[in-house]
Amino acid sequence: MNSPLKIGIAGLGTIGGGTFKLLTEQAEIIERRSGRAVRLVAVAEPDASRMKEAEKNGIRCYADALPMAADDDVDVVVELIGGSEGIAKKLCETAITNSKHVVTANKALIAHHGTALARAAEAQGVTFAFEAAVAGGIPIIKSLREGLAGNRLGRVYGILNGTCNYILSAMSEQGRDFEDVLKECQDLGFAEADPSFDVDGIDTAHKLAILASVAFGGEVNFDAVHIEGIRHVSLMDMQFASELGYSIKLLGVASVREDGLEQRVHPCMVPSSSPIAHVLGSLNAVVADGDFCDTIVHEGHGAGAGPTSSAVAADLIDIARGLKVPTFGVPASELKSIPPVPMERHRGAYYIRLMVVDRPGVFADIAAVLRDHAVSMESVLQRTRDPGEPVPVVMTMHETEEAGMIRALEEIAAVEAVVEPPRMIRIEAL
């Protein structure tokens, strides 16, 4: 009979507490599916009040996680502390040095140090697994790495942050302003007191960098991700988007081009008829385009104790089974350095909103600037207001290179009749 796989959890916060609960309550089903017992033998947590249940069940308790990583009776260290540096990074390095498998939900750590940690684990002959780091309960890492392994993937994109999707969904469906919905998210506990990582796109960028590495076999390159958040998306933009047949979503998009890898996070106008436009509330969705599988859509809960601990358990069961799969789909030593494509070389269609003083000649001036930068208009919407008040002018542009679009907007912003900075949202062809 196989000996038990012995687990040590570092961090008993929301995800750590959920993992503790799952391993305790689902022990029988996990053993049946693993072919051996998966036993929680140690926890590490500086807050003593969180360790009472562990103490009651005879589980060894550490106030400091590093000694647990050297405990001879621990086979797998589950890092659920968080943060890209400090104790989380040191814990994973120590565990790998001591020939222990590592399972983590820490997307920031992987986005910044995933390649180095995977190479260290490979050299030591242990597993470094992170299904829980991207899209919570959606098994997207396993899907890209194993289920779609026979495909050449061209693009991976998705809604990777539930807080942003909740905010944008509420703005669209309820006609509410960004700040109003953000405050509600904070009151409900969906968003932190400082929501920057979520609403400024950083959390999505961490996850996108990981997905791109798994999908395309390249080194994790977070620094190459273009990042924009949703603070500038207004209710007016939402209303115009609906009128034009679009919904606004914060997407992370990674695609392979002839000249390299494009990784970008920003608000997108997506066709209202597309599947991703109907992913509402705090749900996540990830879409992969492959040459043989065509388009595959994954949707589900991307955060929270239950979905994330479910993903942690999946990695533990793989380790218990003895399943060995390269961390990023290919051996870490073979990960390529793929040239990044700068955002100014992105090609796409655009939504532009201007607030202008309605007087003769203004539109001709704007059109001349667009012509000079080889930007072609597709459609124009204009609203009337009381005489003398600025009016919104909305234009959609045919596909063009971003560098030309940005230069045109810089010149348009200097036109005297344009009274607010131009608003630009990219239109995504799905």
Active site amino acids: 207
Beta bridge partners of 357: 390
Q: Cα–Cα distance between 217 and 153 in angstroms, integer?
A: 10
Residue whose C-alpha is closest to residue 184's, from 267, 174, 139: 174
Q: Look at the alpha carbons of 176, 179, 184, 188 in this order and tell me if their dihedral is positive or negative.
A: positive
- Which phi and psi angles does 400 have, rounded to 5°? -155, 170
Residue 418 CB burial class (10 angstroms; 0-12, 13-18, ≥19): buried
Q: Cα–Cα distance between 401 and 342 in angstroms, integer?
A: 11
Q: Cα–Cα distance between 243 and 247 in angstroms, integer?
A: 10
Looking at 291-429, which runs of residues are DSSP E strands?
294-301, 347-357, 377-382, 390-401, 423-427
For residue 325, how many C-alpha atoms fall within 13 Å in the half-sphere facing its CB? 20
Q: Cα–Cα distance between 369 and 364 in angstroms, integer?
A: 9
Which amino acid is residue 145, in one-letter code?
Answer: R
Q: Cα–Cα distance between 71 and 396 in angstroms, integer?
A: 61
> What is the rounded radius of gyration, in angstroms, for the C-alpha atoms of the chain?
24
Residue indicated by tokens 């590495």: 213
Residue whose C-alpha is closest to residue 95's, from 77, 108, 80: 77
Q: Cα–Cα distance between 250 and 28 in angstroms, integer?
A: 40
Residue whose C-alpha is closest to residue 20's, from 65, 63, 64, 50: 50
SS3 395: strand
Q: Cα–Cα distance between 287 and 255 in angstroms, integer?
A: 12
SS3 41: strand
SS3 417: coil
Distance of CA 93 to the CA centre of its chain: 24
